[in-house]
């Protein structure tokens, strides 16, 4: 019944602060119709990503984990007219749905969906001279989070923001004996951040329509 309350409050917050948006609604509908899992960020979380990108003044954004492009649209909407976003996705079917959703949202010109395992596409981006990115959103397979974070730092500049989703995982992140690869990935991320003078970070627990989870937010130092 706790979740019912979290969901009711999220509904209220979204109804009042996150106006309905045809392209975002259609992106979720098309994703569901194509059989994609409903593991996108919630609307009020998507708007938080949008706000952080706006506050940062991000004109070059990287996303790792596209799914149907729901969070991509939120981030893409924060871009200035000459801004660019690259989003990395392993599954060609997800990438296809996302590409259509981004097109419908009017973001085709500003976004590139790159297909392949991110551990292959990230070095590709670096070799092609992409970056520095002003903001990176990490939301793909959780076991590889520390590697993705390392690439995000490499592809950043001082002041760049890195956001990592799903770092609390129903509280299991605090279990030092966990053998869940996702928990191990998040715990290793936090150990690496602790030892990395190049970034300043914190993490926040969240509850809502997506359950009990959280995000880590980091800034690359001067
Ligand atoms: N950011 C999306 C949103 O909020 O709308 C949700 C992303 S979903 C949680 C994670 C995505 O990462 C899935 O589409 C999955 O196929 C993709 N993924 C999993 N492993 C990956 C990998 N090794 N490289 C790139 N993408 C991967």
- Site to probe by mutation for ligand 1, drawn from 21, 62, 89 as the one with most ligand atoms within 8 Å of Cβ, is 89
- Report whether pLDDT(1) > 90: no
Q: Which atom of ligand 1 is nearest to the CA of 68?
A: 5
The answer to whether 61 touches 75, Cβ cutoff 8 Å, is yes
Specify the DSSP class assigned to residue 11.
Answer: H
Q: How confident is the model at residue 120 (pLDDT cuts 50, 70, 90)?
A: very high
Ordered structural domains, the chain, with CATH: 2-220 (3.40.50.150)
Question: Please, what is the Cα angle at 216 between 212 and 221, to 5 degrees?
Answer: 170
CB-based burial label for 116 (10 Å; 0-12, 13-18, 19+): middle
Q: Please tell me whether residue 139 adopts helix, strand or coil conformation.
A: coil
- Report whether pLDDT(70) > 90: yes
pTM of the predicted structure, to 2 decimals = 0.98
Q: Whose CA is nearest to atom 23 of ligand 1?
A: 117
With a Cβ cut-off of 6 Å, ligand 1 is lined by 39-41, 65-67, 70-71, 88-91, 94, 117-118, 139-141
Cα 118 to ligand 1 centroid, rounded to whole Å: 9
């Amino acid at each position: 019944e706790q979740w019912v309350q979290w969901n009711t409050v999220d509904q209220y917050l979204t109804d009042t602060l996150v106006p309905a948006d045809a392209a975002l609604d259609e992106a979720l509908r098309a994703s569901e119709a194509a059989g994609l899992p409903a593991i996108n960020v919630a609307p009020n979380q998507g708007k938080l990503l949008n706000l952080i990108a706006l506050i940062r003044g991000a004109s070059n954004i990287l996303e790792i984990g596209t799914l149907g492009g729901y969070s991509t649209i939120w981030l893409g909407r924060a871009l200035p007219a000459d801004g660019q976003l690259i989003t990395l996705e392993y599954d060609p079917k997800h990438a296809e749905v996302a590409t259509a959703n981004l097109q419908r949202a009017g973001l085709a010109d500003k976004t590139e969906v790159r297909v392949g395992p991110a551990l292959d596409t990230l070095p590709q981006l670096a070799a092609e001279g992409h970056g520095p990115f002003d903001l990176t959103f990490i939301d793909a397979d959780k076991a590889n989070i520390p590697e993705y974070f390392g690439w995000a730092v490499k592809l950043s500049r001082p002041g760049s923001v890195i956001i990592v989703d799903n770092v609390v995982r129903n509280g299991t992140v605090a279990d030092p004996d966990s053998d869940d690869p996702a928990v191990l990935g998040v715990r290793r991320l936090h150990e690496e951040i602790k030892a990395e003078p190049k970034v300043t970070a914190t993490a926040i627990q969240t509850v809502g329509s997506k359950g009990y989870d959280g995000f880590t937010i980091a800034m690359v130092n001067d």
